[in-house]
Amino acid sequence: MYYKFSTRNADKMNVENAKAQMRKGILEYCILSILSNNDAYASDIIKELKEARLIVVEGTLYPLLTRQKNAGLLSYRWEESTQGPPRKYYTITDIGHSFLNDLHQSWNELVSAIDMLNKKETK
Amino acid sequence: MKTTVKINLSGQIFDLDNDAYQALKDYLDAISQRFRDMEEGAEIISDIESRIAELFQSKISEKKEVITIEDVNDVITIMGQPEDYLEEESVNEESGKSYSKSRKSKKYYRDGDNAILGGVCSGLGAYFGIENWLMRLLWVIFFFATGGGPLFILYIVLWIAVPKAVTAAEKLEMRGEKVTVSNIEKTVKEEYETVKENVKEGYEKVKTSKELKKTGNVIDEIFHVIGQIVLVFLKIILVIIGFAFIVSGLAVLFALSVAVFFRDSILSTEIFGAPIQSFNEFFGILGDPTSMTLISIALFFAIVIPLIALIYAGIKMMFRFKANDKMIGLTAFVLWILSVVFLVTMAAFEGWNFNAYGRSSTNHNLDTFSSDTINIRIVSDPGIEGFNNDWYFSYDNSWTMISTEDRLYGKIDLDTAPGKFDDYELSIRKNSQGRDRAQASINAGRLDFEWKLDENTLILDPYFSLEKPNKWRSPGTKVTIMVPPGKYIRLDNNTRYFLRNVETVEDIWDRKLAGEVWQMTEDGLVSVD
């Protein structure tokens, strides 16, 4: 069905779509990457992503976490909190690890591909 | 001075200023609006709520106990408006790469890309993962098995009611996994896992919340878990009921069409004791073709509309598709009401044909006859198509009819009576019903009865007959042999099943009279011995 999008001028919506899709893919990649180092609360993940300026609003993260959890990439357990309600403590699963490896690989491929193209253009 | 509102957010109690409360409520409403239709929506909403509770917690201290509008606005800025992450979701759905399992949201759509007519069959094929030609073949088989009409209507109903898959997402939703044992097992397992997970999650929440002594939340969670379990059972039960609806609807349609359209079918319908092979024929006997056609059509709608509604409801329960079926449902309902009203009216109108009784009698003097004894015999082989021996044995003569290509045949009653003259007499009394007395008498006069005298033997046809297209108006013919008192009558063995209410001095059962010689007295027959 995608040929529909490529006909005539690529209008603004498609650019937005492409950007959002890219950002979403990278976000998922980053979440897995953060969790591969340490188990974390949602708020920890948010903090790291905010520091890296990958997200602006926190609400973005929750649907992604739930989806990844449902897809079997993540699991969680409930942890007591000194302040406030019990919180979900996320862990990456084995499936998540192998998925992350795939993402690492394709990320590196993409980076080198884009590097190569950019070098050609600047020549 | 300001009023405050106490809220429970993810098991924590907060005091909010009135305006702060309003702002938070609007925000949470917007979020739940955004996520509630998604499978994992409830979980996302509860995650977000618990994050907001966390943020609120950091906003209050011993000195500041109340959440203000500024605090709420801060939190909303941190969390972001639902529109800010909306586009990512839409991308997610459009690309069809959603992590959420597509099978669960599988729906029945019409497949416009592979359609021959409306894509009803190809849509079903896509749903079940069956080849389109096979689905169509099945449909055609059922089409002919149910006589064409009902399934044609069902097709039109589905064509109108079921939406066509237009967007890429809908096309993906339409295509399902093949129905195999392992897939069914997988589905059940997944449903089970969902329940288990919900129970586990609920339990752990209950456990942790208990320690925090937030009883309101505990009860909420318990009800949530119970609700989830009930929901899964309801879903399964709904599918089973839906399946039963479809099967029973099709079975009844099939049985009816066999009964209506096929003569000599496996389901031979015995209406008048003797086989009248189809409803068509039954109607042809009762009324004129035009009104019977109209009645048939009305009867068709009155029976088939509820059946199709049943099958449609079953399909809807099993496949859970969105449908714009309000209009067509209303139309069908009105059509059904009209049919029933018409049927009642016509039945009353046709029933009027049985309003009055009339008769037509003839007496024949058997004066060529000189002996003291008369033999009575029935023609043993009536030579009528569809005749069988059961016909003879039937007690209720007025309901024993045979219908052939051009005539209706009924069984006669045979009786004897003391004659008033010196000669033997044959009295034939035909009776029928009609719109009024005169019409009933005319109807009675149309009945034919044949007999002949062969020396000492009176040979009677076992039946009277009515030429088609004269209609069945509950006709009957009584043949009475008038025997002069003192003379004799010999009833042949084969009159046994035609004798009816014969007057005898010793009160003997009719069927025992056959095969013997009897003498007539003023009080009836007496045995010769």
Helices (H), B115-165: 120-128, 132-145, 149-161
Rounded to an integer, the average pLDDT of B115-121 is: 76
Contact A63 B85 (CB under 8 A): yes
Angle separating helix axes B326-351 and B289-319, nearest 10 degrees: 150
Average pLDDT, whole number, for chain B?
A: 78
Q: State the Cα–Cα distance between residues B336 and B298, nearest whole angstrom.
A: 8
Q: State the Cα–Cα distance between residues B165 and B119, nearest whole angstrom.
A: 10
Closest chain B CA to residue A71: B99
Contact B44 A84 (CB under 8 A): no
Q: State the Cα–Cα distance between residues B264 and B276, nearest whole angstrom.
A: 9
Length of chain B, in residues = 529
Contact B204 A78 (CB under 8 A): yes
Rounded to an integer, the average pLDDT of B1-14 is: 83
Contact A20 B82 (CB under 8 A): no
Q: Does A56 touch chain B (CB under 8 A)?
A: yes
* B403 — pLDDT class (breaks 50, 70, 90): confident
Return the pLDDT at B229. 81
Q: Write the DSSP symbol of residue B110.
A: B
Q: State the Cα–Cα distance between residues B1 and B66, nearest whole angstrom.
A: 13
Q: Does A80 touch chain B (CB under 8 A)?
A: yes
Q: Does A6 touch chain B (CB under 8 A)?
A: no
Distance from CA of A119 to the nearest CA of B (A): 31
Distance from CA of A71 to the nearest CA of B (A): 6
Q: Does B204 touch chain A (CB under 8 A)?
A: yes
Say which range, A5-19, B94-108, B139-153, has the weakest mean pLDDT. Answer: B94-108
**E strand or H helix that includes residue B478:** strand B476-483
Q: Does B40 touch chain A (CB under 8 A)?
A: yes
Return the pLDDT at B341. 93
Contact B78 A87 (CB under 8 A): no
pLDDT tens digits for B28-58?
A: 888 887 777 777 788 888 888 888 888 888 8
Which of A5, A32, A45, A58 should we substitute to test contact with B (largest number of B Cβ atoms within 10 Å)? A58
User: Quick one: tokens of B161?
Assistant: 């009611």
Highest mean pLDDT among B157-161, B298-302, B372-376, B378-382: B372-376
Return the pLDDT at B99. 36
pLDDT tens digits for A28-84?
A: 888 898 888 888 888 888 888 888 877 777 888 888 888 888 888 888 888 877 766
Return the pLDDT at A9. 45
User: Is the per-residue pLDDT at B235 higher than 70?
Assistant: yes
Q: To which residue do tokens 């966390």 refer?
A: B54
Record the pTM.
Answer: 0.46
Q: State the Cα–Cα distance between residues B222 and B211, nearest whole angstrom.
A: 16
Q: Which three-class secondary structure state does DSSP give residue B267?
A: coil
Pairing of strands B413-418, B476-483: parallel
In B, which residues are within 8 Å of A71 by CB distance?
A: 99
Q: Does A25 touch chain B (CB under 8 A)?
A: no
Q: Does A19 touch chain B (CB under 8 A)?
A: no
Q: Confirm if B403 and B279 have CB atoms less than 8 A apart.
A: no
Q: State the Cα–Cα distance between residues B528 and B499, nearest whole angstrom.
A: 19
Which residues 142-181 of B are in CB contact (within 8 Å) with A?
Answer: 167-168, 171
User: Is the per-residue pLDDT at B410 higher than 70?
Assistant: yes
Q: What are the φ/ψ torsions at residue B409 (nearest 5 degrees)? A: -120, 135
Q: State the Cα–Cα distance between residues B407 and B467, nearest whole angstrom.
A: 5
pLDDT tens digits for B475-491?
A: 889 999 999 998 999 99
Pairing of strands B517-521, B488-491: antiparallel
Contact A85 B12 (CB under 8 A): yes
Say which range, B115-119, B307-311, B328-332, B436-440, has the weakest mean pLDDT. Answer: B115-119
* A2 — pLDDT class (breaks 50, 70, 90): very low
Return the pLDDT at A5. 41
Q: Confirm if A41 and A87 have CB atoms less than 8 A apart.
A: yes
